[in-house]
Chain A
Amino acid sequence: MTLAQDPSQDPRVLALAYSRLYAVLARALLRGVDARMLAQLRELDWVGPGDGLEQLATQLHATFELGVFPYAGVFLDPDAQAGACADRVRGFYARAGFSPRPVNAELAPDHLGVELAFMAFVSRAHADGRLGPSSPLLAEFLDACVLAYLPSLVIAARELGEGAWPTMLNELLELVAAQRATLPGPRAAPSLCPAQALLDDARTGLREIAAYLLTPARSGVFLTRADIAALARSRGLARGFGSRLTMLDNLLRGAVEYGELDKLRAGLDELLARRDHRLVELDQRLELGPAIEPWRAAIARTRELVRALHRAPSRDRADPWTSKPSTTTPPAP
């Protein structure tokens, strides 16, 4: 029998264990991996024997600075802004008396690493008795600020490819799910953006479509550069370079101009379906229910949107400079 299964195990000891695990992950995300931490990660089987310091540093950069952005705001904010959930997390931090030091000020308080540091801090408070077992603080925080987006982040990171960091994110999600199951209180679902009749708006152009797709709280998915590049590559279209918005806008414009919108739409739908399926898998394995449903609903709406794009007159060339709605407004019935 393992420690987590042992009902006689002191919950304060369990809390100490969670605190340490969260701390390891927080340090890894905030500071990168040093030799001491590498030994710890290996002990936890979170990295393989082939993962050295250099590889981990490179992957850290590739995963979280070029790939996905581990901020609650990026996933939950209507403008997908990192740091946009700062006030929400700060409220929890203040309740616990937790204050990030200035050296990490360049990371927003809603950065996953800072959140993990907070979770380590609160778990430690549970462990040493400063917070009683009935305190709702940690459960509320996990629901509102971690589980609310972590599944989507885990799935986006996993699609970047195999690697230690996607693996660690997955391990983290499992830990959080397991701990949440031990905490009191009903589970709260995240509040994403309400449905938006984007295509009903005559001002909507390809750029607005792209922005919608790149806003996880609306589209239900985080699209990385790699996702956009893969969509372009598989359809033989150009996507250019620059911001993700520029790339996706280029891709949509190219698809319209060269009559390839159907293919691109199919690719997008495949991606959305795949993401939805992965959410289902996670739910089945981790029983994440309320945390998953809003994301699945958003994906479903986005698939509808993509299908509606299918009705657009694909031969009708867009104005390459304005990308305005001649291609995206459905014809009158």
Chain B
Amino acid sequence: MSGGPETLADKVGRLLTKVLRPGFGGDEPVIASEQTNAAGEALPSYGAAEPSREPVSLLEVDHGDGRMSRYPPPERWDDWVEWDAKAWPRKIPRRYSLVPTICFNCESACGLLAYVDKTTFEIRKFEGNPAHPGSRGRNCAKGPATHNQIYDPERILYPLKRVGARGEGKWKRVSWDEALDDIAAKMRQSRERRRDGIMYHVGRPGEDHYTNRCITAWGVDGHNSHTNICSSGARVGYALWTGCDRPSPDHANARVILLISSHLETGHYFNPHAQRIIEAKSAGAKIITLDPRLSNTAARSDLWLPSWPGSESVILLAIAAHLIRRRSYDREFMRRWVNWDQLLREGPGLPGMPDLPASAAGAEGELSFEDFEAYLERLYGEFTFEQAAEASQVPIERIEEAARLVEGAGSRLATHTWRSASIGNRGGWQVARCLFFLNVLTGSVGTPGGTSMNAWNKFVPKPFASPPAFEAWNELQLPHEWPLAFFEMSFLLPHFLAEGRGTVDVYFTRVYNPMWINPDGFMWLEALRDEDKLGLHVALTPTWNESAWFADYVLPMGHAGERHDLMSQETHAGQWIGFRQPVRRVALERAGRPVQFTHEANPGKVWEEAEFWVELSWRMDPDGSLGIREWFASPADPSRPITQDEYWAHVFEHSVPGLPEAAAAEELSPLAYMRKYGCFEVLRSNYTPYEAEGFATPSGKLELFSPTMRDWGWPEREHVIPWPLDSHVSPANIDRDRGQMLLLPNFRLPTLIHTRSANAKWLYEISHANPVWIHPSDAGRIGVQSGELVRVQTEIGYFVDKVYVTEGIKPGIIAMSHHLGRWRLASDMGGNPGMSALAQLDEDGEGGHALNILEHGRAWDSFDPDTARIWWQDVGVHQNLTHAVHPDPISGAHCWLQKALSVRKAGASDRHGDVHVDTRKSMAVYRQWHALTRSAVDHSPDGTRRPWWLKRPLKPTRAAYALPEEPFGR
């Protein structure tokens, strides 16, 4: 080169020389000619349409809060053309088949509308279904993110079978036939030997009866759920009052909305409830929230009561006492519907219960309602605002204001507790009971703007041909020590196995990641690895997870738009059903391309449980000798299995009132109607149904006094009536002077979906880290600032995480979102590198376990360019591993709140994400809590294991309720 400025020719020549150098690698084709459209292997592609149509008037939905949305009208759903937003600034028309389905990313069952490209049958997007009575066309972020899950580069596309040791991470692809035959054979072997060897452990149920029918048909006591780490506490509280175990607040019509914790924003019922709460607020309703954390909900409430966890009942009873003292409760409602006479007759004399007032019992010996009123005042007279303020550490003015608002609500008081305090505290079930006491006092039970029960607002059609109840009782699920539990003691399965209570022959985990989501995960690790105790582990899952890594089969199951399920949910004071559909299959069938099995239409060989269960059950009993096959036979041709069309056609024709008529009005079959709209409104509103039916309690009344509690070994005042119970994390049990704190781990950032958010890139971009919230006063004491590491010592181990210093959490408490901290054991399998950390497990052989992070989140290359754009590294810390189990002796709930024995600045050897646990301590804590139980063996009033009237997800025969002849531990 000369020394002068570079000429254009020089410059171009230099470039051309560089690009011709060997190794430049310029021969990769830019544009190929073949079409690729398999999810998991390529980004979807879409065809172009002719823009010949005239514009279509959109369907307008006028929301109650004054906003309006517009949607494609249903009559055009079969053939919808719209501009491609991503092709902008070009105007590219795309032609879609719009197929309704139901979201699967929480249990609200909101309606989704899939836009399926009519050329490639790829799913373009998910939007809201305006016909859906619960969600009314709206969705939270999790619904549209279903698209991420379906086109996740790391999704499991084919059935996998373990080929190495459990957890070694070696897999081979197998056919569905091979998997079905092998699993069915093992199930048959188990079923021939016993009725408690098959266990179906469900995480996200997402449907209302189908699988339960299958398990019942197998004749085994095999249903295990996640309920005890979720909602058991609240369920017991509500069930004791009403016989129904879930509340259904009519937020939209409420005058006052009282929330325990932050349901509105933590993902539970988020969308259907949030939109109705906003409606009510727009109309002038007041919102009261009890939460030690300044959640989004609390921040938007009229009144935030940052109560110390476990003190909620004291506040609620102070409000109740205020109403009682002022006689400002609904006397007529109480007189008619509360079992006050039973309380007066049977309550006095029980431990802690006061005697009747001397004035009680008139001349004829009859106890009057007025006697009850006097007794009520005596019972609750000790609860005052001052006492509540002291117990809760909340300014008394706010409690007084809450009482004033509740008093003014009349019959329009909508209340809700589900997780939060009810699942956080020992005795949390009493929080729900005390909360609903306010509904009872105000007469706002089942009223417009009041609080109903789920059974009134949820419609579950009868299944096709119900098999008889099984005669079996699985001691690993409902052992005799917890006769009142709601329901199975699922999180204790590894502890029970370790104790030698039994074994499992075939263990299904279904959209469930027990090692990660439960407390005490290393106990799960030990159980999942033990092939003598867990015989065959089949993971039915749409995504990789920590537990599936230790399975024998990993069977890919569909996301929301890839499966059949029927769901209803108590979103408001009406009733509806929603039909989840495999949307590509439906679109193909609309186009005249028949599909036999859903896995033919889904990506790869991804299937759905509904068809899988039929095929599996058929092969489990090929000759019908076990009496199973008959329940899975086609009604048209019993020599072959029933199809999904046959099953749902029967259900929709025979057990959904009004649906056949609505379908006929459109000249459709009921099935075709449901395939078209994806939902059906059974009842527009359903208020005070108890006027006709009474309540589902033994007395038929609202049971302020619970004879069941008395009869089953809990006769004390604090158990038989709404009353505060001492939490394991009450101020007296947390020695703050010694540096102890309360760890609040049971809140969730609103975009998280348990395990499955880690397969939704949009959601993880929003929230991927779970730092420890800590108050500035505590941070100052410890000497940490936001972003620095702390080591949190629990009862069984410790973890290391960053802190987030904020006044949004109460002093003395640290808080940490769950549903984050995913990890994997192989760099290229088992999870997304951008959403999970590469980890290493170590153990000392004596119970000591460690999880160390080798690599935090990172970008990676895939067909999706977004994976190369991961900008975050912190994917959270798996705190649950360090949580000791806390089984409530009555509800069986795992009481999530943890005692942090110490919280200190991390040392030089601590690394972000480190976890260490000693499972010997795990068993010790388990035994401490186990000692609190009162076994049915000692307390059953009638020789049964459990009150017959209490719910079980699958109820066996009455004979199966007999106490065990050889109860474990006796």
Instruction: Report which A residues bind B (CB closer than 8 A).
Output: 1-6, 13-14, 16-21, 23-24, 26-27, 30-32, 34-36, 40, 43-44, 53-54, 57, 69, 71, 74, 81-83, 98-108, 114, 116-117, 120-121, 171, 174-175, 177-178, 285-286
Given contacts A2-B16, A26-B30, A102-B35, 20 further A-B contacts (CB under 8 A): A3-B20, A4-B10, A4-B12, A5-B9, A5-B10, A14-B16, A20-B20, A21-B16, A31-B865, A44-B19, A71-B90, A74-B89, A83-B90, A83-B92, A101-B35, A105-B45, A106-B84, A106-B86, A116-B30, A120-B30
Task: Fill in one digit per residue for B34-68: 1 if any A CB lies within 8 Å of its CB, else 0.
Answer: 11100000110111100000000000000000000
Query: Are B30 and A43 closer than 8 Å at their CB atoms?
Result: no
Instruction: Report which B residues bind A (CB closer than 8 A).
Output: 8-20, 24-28, 30-36, 42-43, 45-48, 84, 86-87, 89-92, 120, 859, 861, 865, 868-869, 871
Chain B residues within an 8 Å CB radius of A71: 89-90
Query: Are A108 and B15 closer than 8 Å at their CB atoms?
Result: no
Query: Are A4 and B30 closer than 8 Å at their CB atoms?
Result: no
Q: Within the complex, which residue of A103, A108, A174 is in contact with B8, where a contact is CB–CB below 8 Å?
A: A174
B117 vs chain A, min Cβ distance (A): 10
State A36–B27 Cα separation when bound (angstroms): 13
20 contacts between A and B (CB under 8 A): A2-B16, A5-B9, A13-B20, A20-B19, A35-B868, A36-B25, A40-B26, A44-B18, A53-B869, A54-B869, A82-B89, A83-B90, A103-B42, A103-B43, A105-B46, A106-B46, A121-B31, A171-B15, A174-B8, A177-B8
Chain A residues within an 8 Å CB radius of B869: 53-54, 57
Chain A residues within an 8 Å CB radius of B36: 103
Query: Are B16 and A53 closer than 8 Å at their CB atoms?
Result: no
- Shortest Cβ distance from B10 into A: residue: A2
Instruction: Indicate whether A2 sits within 8 Å of B47 (C-beta atoms), given known contacts A16-B20, A99-B33, A102-B120.
Output: no
Query: Are A117 and B17 closer than 8 Å at their CB atoms?
Result: no
Query: Are A35 and B13 closer than 8 Å at their CB atoms?
Result: no
Which 9 pairs across A and B sit closest by C-beta, in order of nearness? Answer: A2-B13, A4-B13, A20-B26, A17-B16, A82-B90, A117-B30, A83-B90, A178-B12, A20-B19
| Most chain B CB within a 10 A radius of its CB, from A1, A31, A101, A177 | A101
- Shortest Cβ distance from A30 into B: residue: B30
- Shortest Cβ distance from A31 into B: residue: B865
Query: Are A175 and B12 closer than 8 Å at their CB atoms?
Result: yes
Chain B residues within an 8 Å CB radius of A17: 15-17, 19-20
State A286–B8 Cα separation when bound (angstroms): 8
- Shortest Cβ distance from A24 into B: residue: B26
A138 vs chain B, min Cβ distance (A): 16
Query: Are B46 and A21 closer than 8 Å at their CB atoms?
Result: no
B508 vs chain A, min Cβ distance (A): 38
| Most chain A CB within a 10 A radius of its CB, from B9, B24, B30 | B30
B151 vs chain A, min Cβ distance (A): 13
State A24–B27 Cα separation when bound (angstroms): 9
B445 vs chain A, min Cβ distance (A): 50
Instruction: Indicate whether A23 sits within 8 Å of B26 (C-beta atoms), given known contacts A35-B868, A83-B90.
Output: yes
State A100–B868 Cα separation when bound (angstroms): 24
B799 vs chain A, min Cβ distance (A): 30
Instruction: Indicate whether A174 sits within 8 Å of B90 (C-beta atoms), given known contacts A16-B20, A30-B30, A102-B35.
Output: no
State A19–B26 Cα separation when bound (angstroms): 9
State A286–B11 Cα separation when bound (angstroms): 12
A33 vs chain B, min Cβ distance (A): 9
State A74–B90 Cα separation when bound (angstroms): 9
State A18–B9 Cα separation when bound (angstroms): 14
Q: Within the complex, which residue of A20, A108, A171, A178 is in contact with B9, where a contact is CB–CB below 8 Å?
A: A178
Q: Within the complex, which residue of B15, B34, B87, B91 is in contact with A175, where a contact is CB–CB below 8 Å?
A: B15
State A271–B868 Cα separation when bound (angstroms): 39
A26 vs chain B, min Cβ distance (A): 5
Chain B residues within an 8 Å CB radius of A21: 15-16, 19, 26
Chain B residues within an 8 Å CB radius of A27: 28, 30
B624 vs chain A, min Cβ distance (A): 49
| Most chain B CB within a 10 A radius of its CB, from A5, A35, A36, A102 | A102
State A99–B9 Cα separation when bound (angstroms): 32
- Shortest Cβ distance from A179 into B: residue: B12
Query: Are A108 and B18 closer than 8 Å at their CB atoms?
Result: no
Query: Are A105 and B16 closer than 8 Å at their CB atoms?
Result: no
Chain B residues within an 8 Å CB radius of A13: 20
State A34–B47 Cα separation when bound (angstroms): 27
- Shortest Cβ distance from B11 into A: residue: A174
State A30–B865 Cα separation when bound (angstroms): 11
Chain B residues within an 8 Å CB radius of A69: 89
Q: Within the complex, which residue of B14, B18, B42, B92 is in contact with A106, where a contact is CB–CB below 8 Å?
A: B92
- Shortest Cβ distance from A32 into B: residue: B865
Instruction: Indicate whether A285 sits within 8 Å of B26 (C-beta atoms), given known contacts A31-B865, A108-B90.
Output: no
Chain B residues within an 8 Å CB radius of A32: 865, 868
B124 vs chain A, min Cβ distance (A): 11
State A116–B91 Cα separation when bound (angstroms): 22
A225 vs chain B, min Cβ distance (A): 12
B431 vs chain A, min Cβ distance (A): 47
State A35–B28 Cα separation when bound (angstroms): 15
Chain A residues within an 8 Å CB radius of B18: 43-44
| Most chain B CB within a 10 A radius of its CB, from A20, A81, A82 | A20
A49 vs chain B, min Cβ distance (A): 17
Instruction: Indicate whether A3 sits within 8 Å of B17 (C-beta atoms), given known contacts A81-B90, A106-B87, A106-B92.
Output: yes
Q: Within the complex, which residue of B10, B28, B47, B871 is in contact with A102, where a contact is CB–CB below 8 Å?
A: B47
State A14–B19 Cα separation when bound (angstroms): 10
Query: Are A2 and B14 closer than 8 Å at their CB atoms?
Result: yes
Instruction: Indicate whether A40 sits within 8 Å of B25 (C-beta atoms), given known contacts A2-B17, A81-B90, A106-B46.
Output: yes
| Most chain A CB within a 10 A radius of its CB, from B10, B13, B48 | B13
Q: Within the complex, which residue of B16, B24, B89 is in contact with A43, where a contact is CB–CB below 8 Å?
A: B24
State A209–B803 Cα separation when bound (angstroms): 57
State A106–B45 Cα separation when bound (angstroms): 8
A16 vs chain B, min Cβ distance (A): 7
Chain B residues within an 8 Å CB radius of A174: 8, 11-12
- Shortest Cβ distance from A98 into B: residue: B31
- Shortest Cβ distance from A101 into B: residue: B32
Query: Are B9 and A100 closer than 8 Å at their CB atoms?
Result: no
- Shortest Cβ distance from A15 into B: residue: B16
Query: Are A101 and B33 closer than 8 Å at their CB atoms?
Result: yes
State A13–B90 Cα separation when bound (angstroms): 37
Chain A residues within an 8 Å CB radius of B20: 3, 13, 16-17, 20
Chain B residues within an 8 Å CB radius of A14: 16
- Shortest Cβ distance from A23 into B: residue: B30
State A74–B43 Cα separation when bound (angstroms): 27
- Shortest Cβ distance from B7 into A: residue: A5
B875 vs chain A, min Cβ distance (A): 18
Q: Within the complex, which residue of A4, A106, A114, A177 is in contact with B31, where a contact is CB–CB below 8 Å?
A: A114
- Shortest Cβ distance from A58 into B: residue: B869
Q: Within the complex, which residue of A53, A82, A117 is in contact with B868, where a contact is CB–CB below 8 Å?
A: A53
| Most chain A CB within a 10 A radius of its CB, from B25, B26, B35, B92 | B26
Chain B residues within an 8 Å CB radius of A35: 861, 868
Query: Are A102 and B19 closer than 8 Å at their CB atoms?
Result: no
Chain A residues within an 8 Å CB radius of B30: 23, 26-27, 30, 116-117, 120-121
Q: Within the complex, which residue of B11, B13, B47, B91 is in contact with A105, where a contact is CB–CB below 8 Å?
A: B47
Chain A residues within an 8 Å CB radius of B868: 32, 34-35, 53
- Shortest Cβ distance from A110 into B: residue: B90
Chain B residues within an 8 Å CB radius of A121: 30-31
Chain B residues within an 8 Å CB radius of A5: 9-10, 13
State A83–B91 Cα separation when bound (angstroms): 8
- Shortest Cβ distance from B8 into A: residue: A174
State A144–B89 Cα separation when bound (angstroms): 22
Chain A residues within an 8 Å CB radius of B48: 105
Query: Are A24 and B86 closer than 8 Å at their CB atoms?
Result: no
- Shortest Cβ distance from B84 into A: residue: A106
State A36–B31 Cα separation when bound (angstroms): 17
Chain B residues within an 8 Å CB radius of A30: 30-31
B436 vs chain A, min Cβ distance (A): 50
